[in-house]
Chains A and B, each alone.
Chain A
Amino acid sequence: MKSKFLVSCSLATLVAIATPAQAQTEIQWWHAMGGALGEWVNDLAKGYNDSQKQYKVVPTFKGSYPETLTAGIAAFRAGNQPDILQVFEVGTATMMASKGAIVPVGKVMKDSGLQFDQSAYVSAVAGYYTAPNGQMLSMPFNSSTTIFYYNKDAFKTAGLDPNKPPVTWAEVALAAAKLKAAGHKCPFTTSWISWTQLESFSAWHNIEFATKGNGMNGTDARLVFNGPLHVRHIQDLENMAKQGLFIYKGRDNKADVTFPSGECAMITASAGLLGAIKKNAKFDFGVAPLPYYQDVPGAPQNTVIGGASLWVMSGKPADHYKGVASFFNYLSSPEVQSASHKRTGYLPITTAAFKLTEKSGFYKENPGADVAVNQMIRKTTDKSRGIRLGNFLQIRTIVDEELEQVWGGKKGAKEALDEAVKRGNEQLERFQAANKS
């Protein structure tokens, strides 16, 4: 018995020693997708791993977007960085400035010898992650934009037409008043207040959020979101807040849960929320484009991108980069893209994927699913191409802080926006000074 055991043990050891010779190369992928989106990420990795034998993509959930970025930075400093790091759009300028820490995706794809056509990607999406010299720096992954959701059942109860979502902000206020009159406690709320009410708002009305093409053309950009239209909009929201028509639900995406739960009847939020709403909402809901001000010439233009992209970290063995390239190739294929788009509500990143989705009849069966796509696939202007600023996370927090003073009744709209611009510009000046080269 004992000798048999020994033999099997040594056999096992032999096998264990022998396997690494043909072992797969593991590609570490750190991401910030929890819940339903986490399942999606795992399925993507599984789909890729099953499609070939050479590489194995290992996704790891690292917490919220900022936590994932911080984890990636700490790991890089310790020399243990993952191959792929998911970074939210707010961190894009930081990543672009960290030249020694990343390998541009354009280079990774070129070196791998795989076919890579940058023009296949939707320009409003890929353009955001492309350097001024035309090289794609990161792989667009979960790209979203800001859209408007409304509760059709609540609309019916309030005597509103459920098939006629409000198109302008004036109509939003009217609908909110009717909802409130019908006893609704939270007629309208919003997630990502800076992104939806100032950033996308600016692009949607074709006005600047910041100078220098919203920071896309240089680090000497400065904030200008205290113009008359911005002030007017924040004032309108302030009035709605005073009347209990707009209920502030907190920073970042804290308001997200209030829509599928039925608590709030209308919300402006990320297109990526669609998946969670489909899964959790026990009522009939509608999706509509972001509301706008009718009297503004050129509105509606297009909305700006949000979400995250995948960055390739430097300092890894050459075969890892080949694996990363092959994985990205898989992710960009029209079939995978289209399936992801249908599943999550995130934008398709290639034109081919959009066409494939359209051809499958998905948009006809799911009215509203194309709202985000239509808001993005438009000819962009210098003012609407996207917003890419240094220290953006701080700027968004400053906007949160100043606007909370407005909803709390401590500051007027103009005063708060002026202060936010002033404090935000200090952040931009610091970023410019730190990234002169």
Chain B
Amino acid sequence: MAAEKRVVFRSAWLPWVLIAPQAAVILVFFFWPAGQTVLQSLQQQDAFGTSTEWVGFANFQRIFSDPSYLASFRTTAVFSILVAVIGIVLALVLAVYADRVIKAAIVYKTLLIWPYAVAPAVAGALWLFMFAPSVGVVSYALRHFGIQWNHLLDANDAMAIIVMAAVWNQLSYNFLFFLAGLQSIPKSLLEAAAIDGARPWRRFWTIVFPLLSPTTFFLLVINVIYAFFGTFGIIDAATEGGPGKETAVLVYKLYFDGFKALDLGGSAAQSVVLMVIVITLTVVQFRFVESRVNY
């Protein structure tokens, strides 16, 4: 960005017209539904919406006095950290190795990008098949090592299966960004370091990793948001929040309360809470983490 060229619009209205289409899309598809959610969180409606009553903050009071909702925060924190960290680390490793491959590189890359085309619910179902306690391929193999896999009753097994499915589903996305990031690192830097006698591991830590930090940071934000919002399909297909409520993360509880239990006020209140959390997280990440990132 050394030679920055700044285009200045002389007209007062032209820039507004130019951003109008994008602004309209954001307004209609983001701000309008978000506004509706805020309104609904203050109402109590019957399922069909034939009667509406304003109840103030009663919905919020109700969800925060529900111990299972509070427990869901812990579950969500564990789940999001696992998904984001494992997903990013694994994708980085794969990207570094895929970047080195010379023969048939395109095949590896295509195969690695493939899972992204799988819908979350399908991803959940696939992992469910492999880990089905009695007939799954993996659980069958695990039995040979003396491990009794049963995610229907074992909370850790259940958490493991949704983390694996969520990571796998998001891996391609992370992989793509890391690969692009790796390819944009000037080869001359690495060659210079190699001539100076830096071993591959040192080259990675002192050159590649710092130069990838904007990508890593971006992916951290995206993965946390993904774990918060994009994973309910996986959870619904694989565990339905069980056993007990051990894998009912915030977004799954919201989905269940809103779409299955038809408690719209309560689920809207949960949406608002979730919205506040993600806004806070994003602001924190940009204010404090970004300042340490090298661009």
Residues of A near any B CB (own CB < 8 A): 66, 69-70, 73, 76-77, 94, 97-101, 185-186, 247-251, 258, 263, 391, 393-394, 397, 400-402, 404-405, 407-408, 410, 434-435
Q: Chain B contacts of A100 at CB under 8 A?
A: 48, 50-51
Chain B 224-237, CB within 8 Å of chain A: the 1/0 string?
00000000000000
| A97 CA / B49 CA spacing, docked (Å) | 12
Q: Does B256 contact A (CB under 8 A)?
A: yes
A263 to B136, CA, bound (A): 13
| Structural contact, A248 and B153, CB atoms closer than 8 A | yes
B:38-63 near A, CB below 8 Å = 44, 46-51
Q: Is the interface of B mostly helix, strand, loop or mixed?
A: loop
User: CB distance A408 to B154 under 8 Å?
Assistant: yes
Residue of A whose beta carbon sits closest to that of B258: A70
Closest to B257 in A: A394
Question: What is the total of A-B residue contacts with beta carbons within 8 Å?
Answer: 72
Residues of B within 8 A of A402 (CB): 244
Chain B CB within 10 Å — which of A76, A99, A391, A401 has the most?
Answer: A401
**Least distance between B7 CB and chain A CB atoms (Å):** 44
* B48 contacts A77, C-beta separation under 8 Å: yes
Pairs A-B, 3 closest by C-beta atoms? A100-B50, A101-B48, A408-B153
Some 27 contacts from A to B, beta carbons below 8 A apart, are A66-B259, A66-B260, A70-B259, A73-B262, A76-B49, A94-B262, A98-B47, A98-B50, A99-B50, A100-B51, A247-B134, A248-B152, A249-B152, A251-B240, A258-B134, A263-B135, A391-B263, A397-B260, A401-B243, A401-B244, A404-B242, A404-B244, A405-B243, A405-B244, A408-B154, A408-B244, A410-B244
Is the pair A408, B243 in contact by a Cβ cutoff of 8 Å? yes
Task: Compute how far the CA of A412 lies from the CA of B146 in the bound complex, rounded to whole angstroms.
Answer: 27
Q: For residue B47, which residues in chain A have a CB less than 8 angstroms away from its CB? A: 73, 94, 98
Q: Are B262 and A70 in contact (CB under 8 A)?
A: yes
* Nearest neighbor of B53 in chain A, beta-carbon distance: A434
A97 adjacent to B46 (CB under 8 Å): yes
Chain B residues near A76 (CB-CB < 8 A): 48-49
On chain A, the residues within 8 Å of B262 by CB distance are: 69-70, 73, 94, 393
Residues of B within 8 A of A251 (CB): 240, 242
Most buried by B among A258, A400, A404: A404
B245 located at the interface, meaning its Cβ lies under 8 Å from any Cβ of chain A in the complex: yes
Residues of chain B within 8 A of A186, CB atoms compared: 134
The minimal Cβ–Cβ distance linking A308 to chain B, given in whole angstroms, is 16
Q: Residue of A at shortest CB range from B135?
A: A263
Cα A391 to Cα B47 with chains together (Å): 11
- Interchain CA distance A73-B258 in the complex, whole Å: 12
**Chain B positions 254-271 with a Cβ under 8 Å from a chain A Cβ:** 256, 259-263
Known A402-B244, A404-B152, A405-B244; judge A394-B261 contact (CB<8 A): yes
- Choice from A66, A73, A247, A394 contacting B48 with Cβ under 8 Å: A73
Within 8 A of A (CB), among B9-61: 44, 46-51
On whether the beta carbons of B244 and A397 are closer than 8 Å, the reply is no
Assess the A434–B153 pair: CB atoms within 8 A: no
Supplied contacts A98-B46, A404-B152, 14 more A-B pairs, CB within 8 Å: A70-B260, A76-B49, A94-B262, A100-B51, A101-B50, A247-B134, A250-B152, A391-B263, A401-B242, A401-B244, A402-B244, A407-B153, A408-B153, A408-B154
